Structure 1
């Protein structure tokens, strides 16, 4: 993993501060003693720079563990909103034994590539229900594209899967392109615009934002499988392993 200097600096600074102040209750260091300790720490780090990487790795591991624990609690506390929201549509088996929830943005490059992972998983496992949770975070064009997507869901839900795949392929997504994709599938612009006015998708997107905050999701794609949040485009193989574990024991790690 590449070394993140911006993260290393505060972590190292904290370590130095801890070294200086660790026994403050027993002994208050004077300025000269603090300066001497600082020099010793500096000399050690210069002689052993690999320590910085070790500190960084330990810090990231701790953060990841805390994030995973936060997500597990949030999954438990928000189960229905995550897996069974009325405004989400699913592809695959609507009554599948295992549900995968994907937070996605139509302008996320990783999400575009992850469509292939989704389709491969659905093809290989007929017991997978794949919920698509609209999470536009990449600007106004994404928000506008998702408004059209929501209208497609309401006007022609049977076409939603094809619409999703088509909009995810190729060009930058915005309102105009989303409408063209929907029209190519036989949905009229008039019906879309009427539904966009009636139901602009604000509530479902707001709920997705709130859920993402609780789950610790900051980017797309992110997945919820069983009791775990999976961050990033981890690929078909990794997702399939977790799905298999959920089938066997109800959790991603049996």
Structure 2
């Protein structure tokens, strides 16, 4: 064993992790920086002889075989980093689109319209997880007393979801958004065109006016703006909650939502 090899032996673990992570990061800036010339002549930049390189490669392989847990550790670290990067990107997006997020458009602001913190919820009427937490954000806002609640109609689960979202926005034009929204979320078992229009009739809405408003430019633009916001914030599913600069995808608990409100107040 040469002196150079002895010096680099403690770094075998690091080499192992590097060899594991580099293939996973093939789309990274590191991978993109390698030129074809660099890739075709790796020997030119190597500080080791062929024999020394073979010895290191064997030690790396042996290290991985003796310590297979490093594979899962490396994958977990990679996942955490990617999630942190996604969260950072969402926070930046929230800052850039703060005004549009706080603006309810034709929908009413629920809770306290003058509250110091705003809960923003993206949802789809055909989303089972949205139904699981239906009303939770409103209950938190009412209990707090100083929270605004802005709903974002985000129909991503097909044409029936789009139909329901159009009807709900049109119901807002008749001053019945909150009741119509709650009924769609909790009372209607299957959300489709028939059930939505039956609900409108049961609530004594002007059904003909509702149908007209559903096709209006205002309703179309409201849904389009929400979709653009969702894309900007990398929201790919429902529900998704935004409080302050924090984005929480998924059906979070009431305690988690209250903690987000507390953190938003600390941030000012």
**TM-score band, normalised by the shorter chain?**
0.7 to 0.9
Confirm whether residue 218 of structure 1 aligns to residue 236 of structure 2.
yes
Q: Distance in 2 between matches of 1:50 and 1:68?
A: 27
For residues 12-43 of structure 1, the C-alpha deviation after alignment (integer angstroms, 9 at most, x for no partner) is 7337999xx8x946229999999987776555
Note closer, same or farther for the CA distance 1:33–1:167 as it changes in structure 2 (3 Å cut): farther
1:80 and 2:99 equivalent? yes
Counting only pairs closer than 5 Å after superposition, residues 1-254 of structure 1 correspond to structure 2 as: 13-14=23-24, 24=42, 26-27=45-46, 41=60, 43-154=62-173, 156-157=174-175, 159-169=176-186, 170-199=188-217, 201-250=219-268
CA RMSD of aligned residues (A): 3.1
Q: Which runs of 5+ in 1 are unaligned?
A: 1-9
State the SS of the aligned residue for 1:191.
Answer: helix
Structure 1 length-normalised TM: 0.80
Structure 2 CA distance, aligned partners of 1:52 and 1:167?
47
Cα displacement (A) at 1:107: 0.8
TM-score, normalised to structure 2, is: 0.76
CA contact (8 A) 1:12 1:52 kept: no
CA separation of 1:207 and 1:30: change in aligned 2, threshold 3 A: farther
Q: Is this contact kept in 2: 1:151–1:199, CA < 8 A?
A: no
Change (3 A) 1:121 1:47: same
Gap change, CA 1:207 and 1:39, over 3 Å in 2: farther
CA displacement, residues 117-158 of structure 1 (integer Å, 9 cap, x when unaligned): 22330232111111000101111111111111111112x22x
Q: How many positions carry a matched residue from both structures?
A: 236
Once the 2 structures are TM-superposed, how far is the Cα of residue 182 of structure 1 from its aligned partner?
2.3
Please give the alpha-carbon distance, in whole angstroms, between the structure 1 residues aligned to 2:50 and 2:24: 18
